[in-house]
Structure 1
Amino acid sequence: MKIVVQVKLMPEAEQAAALRSTLRTVNDLACWVSQVAFARGVPREYELRKHTYLHLKAQGLGAQAAQHVIKKVRDAYTTLHANLRAGNLGKSKSRRRVKAESKPIAFRPEAAQPYDDRCLSWQYDAQTVSIWTMAGRIKNVSFVCAADAFKVLQQYHKGESDLIERDGVFYLIATCDVPEAEAYEPDGFIGVDLGIVNIATTSTGYQAAGRGLNRYRKRQLALRAKLQKKRTKSAKRRLKERSRREQRHVKNTNHIIAKTIVTEAERTAHGIALEELRGIRRRVRLRKPQRVTLHSWAFAQLGDFIVYKAKRAGVPLVYVDPAYTSQTCSQCRHIDKRNRVDQGLFICRGCGVVAHADRNASHNIAARGAAVWTAGRESRVPATP
């Protein structure tokens, strides 16, 4: 299982200048490679290399750095084409899709640049790195990170690391290959219902209310609007200081929720059943005031956190179809749209059971998870006559 560890670099003034110059140069050249690729119909990586490699070398890039720039551009176009095929950029001839298809991909000056073991080496005892730059290889660049992250980095680092600059601070995003724990045979499943009013509700009784997070988002939205309206230097400085603050807060909240759910499943020897919610933003139709709330909902991030934490702990996990989970009675299985009286109340028209709507849905998800797990273990081989 691959996870990433973020490491903060603490370079001296000359080292920081070399790193900044390197990022600007490689991303400018990546934009040039992107223009060549776009003009030639985005050829394969080997074909693109024949048209760009010598020019990159002449601009002062090392052999490995030149290869990484070409690969970065080709990977960006691969991702773009995958999004186009999946319909993530709208239908054919839509404004957003035409804009994406009509011009070469551009790279920001601070965009990430991949480094492999030939361009970057780690000295764990001294907590420093040696890294290639346009000014030559610089050594003894100090780094800091959390104690747990450093332990994972030291034991499981494998593969490339990305150098990025964020608000004048340099980071290395290191890839680590952590072994997965062996999954046990679950004694039932915990259903997890994801939502906006209640971020996560489980069939065991745990409920992570979204009231505090939604209030925090509204305050941040109002404050950003107020500062953007002023347009003064101090307002712009405040906006820059507060950038990504909401993102970090939501990420930390999702980490806490995911850890609570996985720990409970591991303690009770249960598996976890999640709804398959990919593409929900394209499927649903909402009024304008509700769109901000939906598009701020980081359900995919929470799901990803639950998945990787479950894999590390050896907790079995399955995805289930979310259709009608909020309209189905968990007791008698009667399905009726009118069963869902309002956001928080469920009253079955068949048997009359009264329950919390999200709790009822989580029980349905748990039952579907058990069915999916059993179906996956059953043999599909025809019986021998």
Structure 2
Amino acid sequence: MEQITVTAKIQIITSDADTVLLDNTMSIYRNACNYVSNHIFHTHDLKQFSLNKFLYATLREKFGLKSQMAQSVLKTVIARYKTILENQKEWIKPVFKKPQYDLVWNRDYSLTQDVFSINTLEGRIKLDYYSEGMEKYFDQTIYKFGTAKLVNKHGKYFLHIPVTYDVPASNLSEVCNVVGIDRGINFLITTYDSKHKSGFVSGKAIKQKRANYSKLRKELQIRKTPSSRRRIKAIGQRENRWMQDINHQVSKALVERNPKHTLFVLEDLTGVRNATERIRTKDRYVSVSWSFYDLEQKLIYKAKQNESAVIKVDPSYTSQCCPKCGHTEKANRNKKKHLFTCKNCGYQSNDDRIGAMNLHRMGINYLVDNQVPSAVTTE
């Protein structure tokens, strides 16, 4: 069995009195996080035991936190530092700007089909919430709730709950379909499957909209005013939400249009350098961003839900190798015309389709050899 974790998001219904209690608790929790963050930045101590020894009493007395809240604050800040160290490889002090509250299941919060119960600085309160879509998660023999996050967006309260459950592990012997997926600019994705069918999702409208966002962002950066900076931030958030929705739709369609036990094959675009080597400088904003990674992650967990799997392979020569005769040459591909013409056998096709065909072949090789191929090969 494999575990999948999804985030369930629900809106909490509050009265004016509830709002005061939640706002106060979230603000003090945020302030306590900044206090701990400053201590860790100067000591480089990320051990909960020693941090608890030095800071627990202060968190209780200075901030008025309850015992479990104090422990949650420590865990929240430690986790943020570990993420920064993993990604940035240096000690950068995180600043907690927005009020927040991390809630431990069955201690800081509980949830039934009717009521959301939360611990505040003034005691526990029970609130209603919009339960649509949550019904299936209440079978505790299948689904497990984790540490949730309470956030305030535009005056409305939302609870983000990680929900973990088991799905059957993918079995290579049961794979009945292989889909090569080439990600790009002109086509967001191009696919080629075991039925020798190709699929294209145009990236033209997406490319244009992201270009408009980029142009607007540059215009606002020139102004250098507080309002322009706020607008830049809002635009970035709007663009991310829009792109996440696109990736959700694309990954969902990929999984739904293919049978269970499908093996999806992607290029491994880990790291900016690997992704930029095959992309023109002026197009890097469009493609070399978190969006490729976001699509990849959404496809991975949706595939698991459908008893399918995703592998990532070396992208070298996937757009230069002829899928028919195996001849590999840079001149095979005409990037301007998006056309592939094999200099050896004359096979011709769209260059993105060629990439998807070669990824499909690498998936077949993976099933035969039971290991991820290091380079594209042909029979």
Q: Is the 8 A contact 1:23 1:111 kept in 2?
A: yes
Q: Is the 8 A contact 1:28 1:109 kept in 2?
A: no
Structure 1 position 370 matched with structure 2 position 364:
yes
Counterpart of 1:330?
323
Q: Distance in 2 between matches of 1:277 and 1:326?
A: 14
Aligned residue type for 2:149 = D
Q: Distance in 1 between matches of 2:327 and 2:206?
A: 34
Classify 1:178/1:152 alpha carbon distance in 2 versus 1 (closer, same or farther; 3 Å): farther
Counterpart of 1:131?
118
| 2:135 aligns with one of 138, 143, 151 | 151
Counterpart of 2:104?
115
Counterpart of 2:375?
none
Q: Distance in 2 between matches of 1:114 and 1:15?
A: 17
Classify 1:43/1:177 alpha carbon distance in 2 versus 1 (closer, same or farther; 3 Å): closer
Residues 186-244 of structure 1, C-alpha deviations (whole Å, 9 max, x = no match): 12411011112211110031111111112222333444555677799998997787663
Structure 1 position 106 matched with structure 2 position 98:
no
Q: Is the 8 A contact 1:348 1:354 kept in 2?
A: yes
Structure 1 position 65 matched with structure 2 position 69:
yes
Q: Distance in 2 between matches of 1:39 and 1:239?
A: 32
Deviation, structure 1 residue 281:
4.8
Counterpart of 2:184?
195
Q: Distance in 2 between matches of 1:71 and 1:9?
A: 24
Classify 1:351/1:329 alpha carbon distance in 2 versus 1 (closer, same or farther; 3 Å): same
Classify 1:318/1:236 alpha carbon distance in 2 versus 1 (closer, same or farther; 3 Å): closer
SS at match of 2:19: helix
Residues 9-55 of structure 1, C-alpha deviations (whole Å, 9 max, x = no match): 22122212221221111111111112222222324111111010111
Classify 1:349/1:311 alpha carbon distance in 2 versus 1 (closer, same or farther; 3 Å): same
Residue correspondences, number: 357
**What TM-score, normalized by structure 1, do the two folds share?**
0.83
Counterpart of 2:377?
none
Q: Is the 8 A contact 1:258 1:309 kept in 2?
A: yes
Q: Distance in 2 between matches of 1:76 and 1:235?
A: 28
SS at match of 1:139: strand
Q: Distance in 1 between matches of 2:262 and 2:36?
A: 51
Classify 1:201/1:283 alpha carbon distance in 2 versus 1 (closer, same or farther; 3 Å): closer
**Bigger mean CA offset, 221-230 vs 365-374:** 221-230
Q: Is the 8 A contact 1:189 1:270 kept in 2?
A: yes
**What TM-score, normalized by structure 2, do the two folds share?**
0.85
Classify 1:16/1:373 alpha carbon distance in 2 versus 1 (closer, same or farther; 3 Å): farther
SS at match of 1:352: coil
SS at match of 2:152: strand
Structure 1 position 244 matched with structure 2 position 237:
yes
| 1:210 aligns with one of 203, 208, 213 | 203
SS at match of 1:165: strand
User: Structure 1 unaligned runs (5+)?
Assistant: 86-99, 379-385
Structure 1 position 263 matched with structure 2 position 256:
yes
Q: Distance in 2 between matches of 1:326 and 1:33?
A: 50
Q: Is the 8 A contact 1:281 1:294 kept in 2?
A: no
Residues 100-154 of structure 1, C-alpha deviations (whole Å, 9 max, x = no match): 63x5332123345243311101131x2x3111122322212x2225x4x313432
SS at match of 1:206: strand
Counterpart of 1:12?
15
Q: Is the 8 A contact 1:163 1:173 kept in 2?
A: yes
Q: Distance in 2 between matches of 1:231 and 1:42?
A: 38
SS at match of 2:176: coil
Deviation, structure 1 residue 157:
3.9
Counterpart of 1:350?
344
User: Structure 2 unaligned runs (5+)?
Assistant: 373-379
Structure 1 position 173 matched with structure 2 position 160:
yes
Structure 1 position 359 matched with structure 2 position 349:
no
| 1:36 aligns with one of 35, 39, 47 | 39
SS at match of 2:166: coil
Which consecutive segments of 4 or more residues in structure 1 shift more than 4 A? Answer: 223-243, 285-288
Counterpart of 2:270?
278
| 2:57 aligns with one of 54, 58, 63 | 54
Aligned residue type for 1:11 = T
Q: Considering only aligned residues, what root-mean-square deviation do their CA atoms show, in Å?
A: 2.8
Aligned residue type for 1:308 = Y
Q: Is the 8 A contact 1:345 1:356 kept in 2?
A: yes
SS at match of 1:57: helix
